[in-house]
Chains A and B, each alone.
Chain A
Amino acid sequence: MGAASVRADFEVERLRSQVSTLEQLLAVHEKTALEQSRRLENIVNSISDGFFVLSREGRVTYLNQVAAALFMRMGAGSSDLLGRPLWAKFPNLAGGAVEQNFSRAMHDRAQITFEARFEPVDLHLEFHAYPWEDGLSVLFQDVSARKLNDLRREQMQIELERQVQLRTADLQATLSELEAFSYSVSHDLRAPLRSLDGFSQALLEDYSDSLESDGKLYLERIRANAQKMAQLIDALLQLSRVTRAEFNPAPVDLSALVRQIASDVRASDPRRDCEFTIEDGVSAEADARLIEVALQNLLNNAWKFSSQRRQTRIQFGVAPHNGVLACYIRDNGAGFDMKYSEKLFTAFQRLHDVREFEGTGIGLATVNRILKRHGARIWAESAPGQGACFYFTLNGLSAEAPKAKSA
């Protein structure tokens, strides 16, 4: 054999081995490619959303299982779809919102999200379309359940509003009933009392000669009680008015209000030795008329229950108490036992004997109601013989000038 043939043989061998290497490499690459594509497929199929790819011409070039299932529900087999134009398969979608949105995404090269309803099988779909050079990748899912929930929630909302309206109407009816009731209280319940008082007085005047002193005393007692009952009726009416009154909160200068009331109170008995200390610049968000009624009641109480002191001292101001900023009205009067402090704020509850301090026991119930209407709170601190201090909160309470000034 010549050297040439040996070289040729060698060359063939080398080529063969190269081919076989290449073949092996190719096999490995093919296997990897296949694996990769399968992995990709798995990934795409593992998404719970439908996923498909559209070519520029609108052909379906890929779709995952969820997409196939969804399209099936819309009336197409998956095998029908691959490689076919989407719009031909679903003429209902052609020209509609879905096609328009897809073209827009492709044209603008911008991702788009939208919802659409597929009428024939009443399917609500949510689409996310992502454009790329040669077409569009689309994720979509069935949102019918969510839509149904939204609808139910909307209906529930409507039902709720209807209920609220019903309740409001109910409440209004109750309110006007209350109005009618207090009207007849003020009118009808007072009328017989007038007769009681009037005719007792007539007896006293016209038949005074034939009445013994006891008889006159009894008539006086009848009159006193008729008048007492009239006072109670008026007190109840005052209380019901607080609930019925309009409520218009605005900034109120509480210091000025207290000064005004204090001077009225003092005028009721100018000889009494009383020192009012009223903090300046106290203001809050309140209904001016209602808060005036509340302050009147509190100051009248302070004045009344300290009447037995040689010198009365009444203070008004703002201070933090139990961790909140509160207004206070303090006196150095008779005070009361804290055991009963809760009772004070209910109607007709009194802690003092009428023979010692007169009153009907409606004042603090009124104050309590007024503060409740303000969304505020009242509480008291006292001890028998130690004076009393009433605290209340109010929205926007502020004390600008913390210096106390004597009135």
Chain B
Amino acid sequence: MILLVEDNPDHVALTIRALKKNHIANEVVVANDGAQAIDMLFGRGDFDGRPVTLPSVVLLDLKLPKVDGLEVLRALRAEDRTRLLPVVILTSSDEEQDILQSYRSGANSYIRKPVDFMQFLEATKQLGLYWLVLNEGPIAGGNG
């Protein structure tokens, strides 16, 4: 399973399309803001009491309503259970500050959403290969 944290419905549709085009068949679950993502991953709020399935990878936008992407990332890195969960920052920003902050906060990868959809396809292709095929890391076996 892939958790996509993204507030722009157009971008949700385009990202799902790009994943499909790259034959990444994993189920995609969408969180519309940072607070919802945290609730899902930690079984809180609306998700209180439900069993938590950790995704294989989190695709995280930086600029999100309520709780922004960096805060979500820091929350994940602060918990033992989610410390090693692969997180890919997927954002329109190519501000140096954002890139540095993301890596400092423990992002595994950073992709700037290109305006050109074909470039985006290429980027998701590499993303898919890396995180879903090659990366048989510590979270392999069970989730996703």
Which residue numbers of A lie inside 8 Å of B, CB to CB? 182-183, 186-188, 190-191, 193-195, 197-199, 201-202, 223, 226-227, 230, 234
CB distance from A207 to the nearest CB of B (A): 14
Residues facing A in B95-139 (CB within 8 A) are: 95, 113-118, 120
Q: How far apart sit A356 and B5, CA to CA, in the bound complex (Å)?
A: 43
Return the contact of B93 from the options A186, A202, A226 (Cβ within 8 A). Answer: A186
CB distance from A369 to the nearest CB of B (A): 18
Cβ–Cβ contact A186 & B94, under 8 A:
yes
Q: How far apart sit A191 and B8, CA to CA, in the bound complex (Å)?
A: 8
Q: B94: which A residues are within 8 A, CB to CB?
A: 186, 234
CB distance from B115 to the nearest CB of A (A): 4
Starting from the known contacts A191-B10, A198-B14, A201-B117, 14 additional A-B residue pairs (CB-CB under 8 Å) come to A183-B95, A186-B92, A186-B95, A187-B62, A190-B92, A191-B11, A195-B8, A198-B10, A198-B117, A199-B14, A202-B14, A202-B117, A227-B115, A234-B94
Cβ–Cβ contact A194 & B113, under 8 A:
yes
Q: A190: which B residues are within 8 A, CB to CB?
A: 92, 113, 115
Return the contact of A199 from the options B10, B62, B92, B115 (Cβ within 8 A). Answer: B10
Cβ–Cβ contact A195 & B10, under 8 A:
yes
CB distance from B92 to the nearest CB of A (A): 4
Cβ–Cβ contact B92 & A194, under 8 A:
yes
Cβ–Cβ contact A187 & B10, under 8 A:
no
Cβ–Cβ contact A191 & B92, under 8 A:
yes
Q: A201: which B residues are within 8 A, CB to CB?
A: 117-118
What are 19 A-B contacts defined by CB distance under 8 Å? A182-B95, A186-B92, A186-B93, A186-B95, A187-B92, A188-B92, A191-B11, A194-B113, A194-B114, A194-B115, A197-B115, A198-B117, A198-B120, A201-B117, A202-B14, A202-B17, A202-B117, A230-B115, A230-B116
Q: A186: which B residues are within 8 A, CB to CB?
A: 92-95
Which residue numbers of B lie inside 8 Å of A, CB to CB? 8, 10-11, 14, 17, 62-63, 91-95, 113-118, 120
CB distance from B112 to the nearest CB of A (A): 9
Q: How far apart sit A99 and B10, CA to CA, in the bound complex (Å)?
A: 90
Q: A195: which B residues are within 8 A, CB to CB?
A: 8, 10-11, 14
CB distance from B34 to the nearest CB of A (A): 15
Q: B95: which A residues are within 8 A, CB to CB?
A: 182-183, 186
Cβ–Cβ contact B11 & A183, under 8 A:
no
Cβ–Cβ contact A193 & B63, under 8 A:
no
CB distance from B91 to the nearest CB of A (A): 7
Cβ–Cβ contact B93 & A197, under 8 A:
no
Q: B91: which A residues are within 8 A, CB to CB?
A: 187
Q: How far apart sit A193 and B93, CA to CA, in the bound complex (Å)?
A: 14
Q: A199: which B residues are within 8 A, CB to CB?
A: 10, 14
CB distance from B14 to the nearest CB of A (A): 4
Cβ–Cβ contact A187 & B93, under 8 A:
yes
Q: A194: which B residues are within 8 A, CB to CB?
A: 10-11, 14, 92, 113-115, 117, 120
Q: A183: which B residues are within 8 A, CB to CB?
A: 93, 95
Q: How far apart sit A246 and B14, CA to CA, in the bound complex (Å)?
A: 37
Q: A197: which B residues are within 8 A, CB to CB?
A: 115-117
Q: How far apart sit A190 and B113, CA to CA, in the bound complex (Å)?
A: 9
Q: How far apart sit A198 and B92, CA to CA, in the bound complex (Å)?
A: 14
Q: B113: which A residues are within 8 A, CB to CB?
A: 190, 194
Q: How far apart sit A52 and B137, CA to CA, in the bound complex (Å)?
A: 99
Cβ–Cβ contact B115 & A193, under 8 A:
yes
Cβ–Cβ contact A187 & B117, under 8 A:
no
Q: How far apart sit A188 and B94, CA to CA, in the bound complex (Å)?
A: 12
Q: Which residue from chain B places its CB closest to the CB of A182 in the assembled complex?
A: B95
Q: Which residue from chain A places its CB closest to the CB of B9 in the assembled complex?
A: A195
CB distance from B134 to the nearest CB of A (A): 27
